[in-house]
Amino acid sequence: MKGVVKIGGALGNNPQPLLKDLAGRFKEGERWILVHGASATMDLLCRSIGIEPRYVTSPSGYRSRFVGDVEMSLFESAALSVTARTCFSLCRLGVPAAACDPVSERIIEAVTKKYLREKVQNRVKILRGNRSGTIRNVRTELILDLAERGFLPVIPPLAADLETFEAVNVDGDRAAAFIASAVGAEVLILLSNVPGLMQDPSDPDSVIRQVEGDEFETASEVAQGNMKRKVLACREALDGGVELSIISDSRVDNPLTAALTGGGTRLCKARSTGIAV
């Protein structure tokens, strides 16, 4: 199996169960690429110097972090520090992990969104000076070379601006989706601190178990907050040729195996996926 798994970086995500599960499956011959978030580390770093993290919701309902010049410098440090810690943990588990820097190595290329639109009550505000990016290209040469040489690539949510080559912040879920499509992965798994896409976000027993192609619009309407972007990322992965996308819980034992054996929400274009576990 060749897959991409993304672990959320927000509070409530414990990466250790995933890393242990991932290590076991990697040693059995499966090939995975790990993408991670850095939200909690970034928030902690910002507050340590007196900057309050700012999140905005667009008119279409998507939630994003506002990243100015100062925040971008902090975010790059936060993201790369999470990459380093993750690689160290995997190496201690006997997995040859390779830290990738999407900026200096030009793995992910993006166009900077110089402003964000924020919906505040019934008004729309324009926030300028933003350093977030929309992904335009994933260069797979280094990722595939590392995988072919027996390494497990670990990738943070960063990209290089196509014009300036400067670092920009990108959404980790969509980065994972673009990478999965680019490398020809069979499956994309997004692990977060929730059990999946829920009909009622306050009811963990209301997980929607399956979403097929013609149900994506409904799924996007049901999704709230950060889940909305996860559904979008899954759809982008499927449109890019990935056979199966899964949104599942990072907090359970063996979360990767749990996702592959029926946990969370499975998103696909056809009901039969043929993915072996």
Contact (Cβ atoms closer than 8 angstroms) between residue 202 and residue 142: no
Which residues lie below 8 Å from residue 14, measured CB to CB, with a gap of 6+?
250, 251
Q: Count the Cβ atoms, other than its own, within 10 Å of residue 134.
A: 13
**What are 126's two structure tokens?**
């324009």
Encoded amino acid at 120, one letter: V
The confidence band for 74, taking pLDDT boundaries of 50, 70 and 90, is very high
Question: pLDDT digits over 192-247, tens only?
Answer: 999 999 999 999 999 999 999 789 989 989 998 889 999 999 999 999 999 999 99
Confidence at 122, pLDDT banded by 50, 70, 90: confident
Report residue 269's pLDDT band, with 50, 70 and 90 as the boundaries: confident
- The dihedral formed by the CA atoms of 191, 195, 196 and 200, expressed in degrees to the nearest 10: -150
User: Which is more confidently placed, 77 or 225?
Assistant: 77
Span 67-82, mean pLDDT?
96
In the chain, the domains with their CATH numbers are 2-51+71-104+138-160+168-267 (3.40.1160.10)
pLDDT of 274 > 80? The answer is no
pLDDT exceeds cutoff 60 at 34: yes
Residue 121 neighbours by CB under 8 Å, 6+ apart: none
- 122 secondary structure, DSSP code: T
Task: Point out the least confidently predicted range of 15-19, 52-56, 89-93, 252-256.
Answer: 52-56
The residue written with tokens 């909690």 in the block is 40
Q: Does residue 277 register a pLDDT over 70?
A: no
Share of the chain above pLDDT 70, in %: 97
Residue 157 confidence (pLDDT)? 98
User: pTM to 2 decimals?
Assistant: 0.93
Which of 42-51, 56-65, 148-157, 254-263 bottoms out in mean pLDDT, i.e. has the lowest? 56-65
pLDDT value at 272 more than 70: no
Q: Is the pLDDT of residue 273 over 70?
A: no
